[in-house]
Amino acid sequence: MTVWICKTCGAQHKPSDAPPAHCAICEDERQYIGANGQQWLDRDSLDPSHSNDWREIEPGLVGIGLTPAIAIGQRALLVQTPAGNVLWDCVPMLDEATAARIRQMGGLKAICISHPHFYTGMVEWSEAFGGVPILLPEADLEHVMRPSPLIEPWRGDSLDVLPGVTMHRLGGHFEGSSVLEWAGGAAGKGAMLVGDTIQVTPAAGWVSFMRSYPNMIPLPAREVRRIADRVADLTFDRIYGGWWDKIIASNAKAAVGRSAARYIAALA
Ligand SMILES: [Zn+2]
Ligand SMILES: [Zn+2]
């Protein structure tokens, strides 16, 4: 049996001999199937050619990105706390050097993922660290392409993961789209890890919100208002988006507020 990875979104699928017939994540309007049609990668074929990049971003935070990048090209974040480590978001595979490094740091306590586009190799990662829980909002379970008993669905709007680490389901892009509030980030001012629940845009100090990024389908004004209101209640000064360069280093809460106002005005 082979673990097949969708070449466009990076999702590992349920093991099978032949490649799956389709990738439901990419057939959804929030992703896409390109002009060349659905394509697959054999998970094991990546071992000789790919590994994970490891970058210390700030005290207590490491970025882990597949290199060379495939599919959406996001990087995961390893959040270190006195109570243990949490993996935020995920990448399509885990290499042995990265696994050994994380084990030296005490392994993982949990895996939390912003939304289905970044589920990718979550089951492989959990299994490598003793079957740590994969905490996914129940609302997005239909988008799991590689089912596993290690997935622990949760309901509601917020989940305390570890002391100082809280997952908030904001919705928008996906019903379960979430962010991670990390109290120890930004030298104690707090950081919010957002994936693309909130998208950091090229102009410094601005973000955006979309139902589909590749297909440019916006969210309704009421959804953007609701997300901004939820964010206003969280404690953070810095935002880490889903890619290496997607960072708002300071005053990030004000950036979300003004960006939501601009977005809503543009739709009016
Ligand atoms: Zn896909
Ligand atoms: Zn996405």
pLDDT tens for each residue of 120-171: 999 999 999 999 999 999 999 999 999 999 999 999 999 999 999 999 999 9
Which ligand lies nearest the alpha carbon of 146? 1
What distance in angstroms lies between residue 234's CA and the mean position of ligand 2's atoms?
A: 22
pLDDT score recorded for residue 217? 98
Which ligand lies nearest the alpha carbon of 7? 1
Provide the residues around ligand 2 (an ion) whose CB is within 5 A.
117, 196
Percent of the chain clearing pLDDT 90 (strictly above): 100
Q: What is the pLDDT of residues 73-95, one digit of tens each?
A: 999 999 999 999 999 999 999 99
Q: What is the pLDDT of residues 233-268, one digit of tens each?
A: 999 999 999 999 999 999 999 999 999 999 999 999
Computed on alpha carbons and rounded to an integer, the radius of gyration of the chain in Å comes to: 18
pLDDT score recorded for residue 236? 98
Domains of the chain: 4-33+50-267 (3.60.15.10)
What distance in angstroms lies between residue 104's CA and the mean position of ligand 2's atoms?
A: 31
Instruction: Indicate yes or no: pTM above 0.85.
Output: yes
Confidence band, pLDDT 50/70/90 cuts, at residue 175: very high
- Phi, psi dihedrals of residue 43, rounded to the nearest 5°: -50, -45
Element (H, E) at 208: strand 207-208
Q: What is the DSSP letter of 201?
A: P
Q: Is the peptide bond before 68 cis (omega within 30 degrees of 0)?
A: yes
Q: How far is CA 168 from CA 44, 103, 155, in A?
A: 34, 27, 11
What distance in angstroms lies between residue 174's CA and the mean position of ligand 2's atoms?
A: 8
What distance in angstroms lies between residue 88's CA and the mean position of ligand 2's atoms?
A: 14
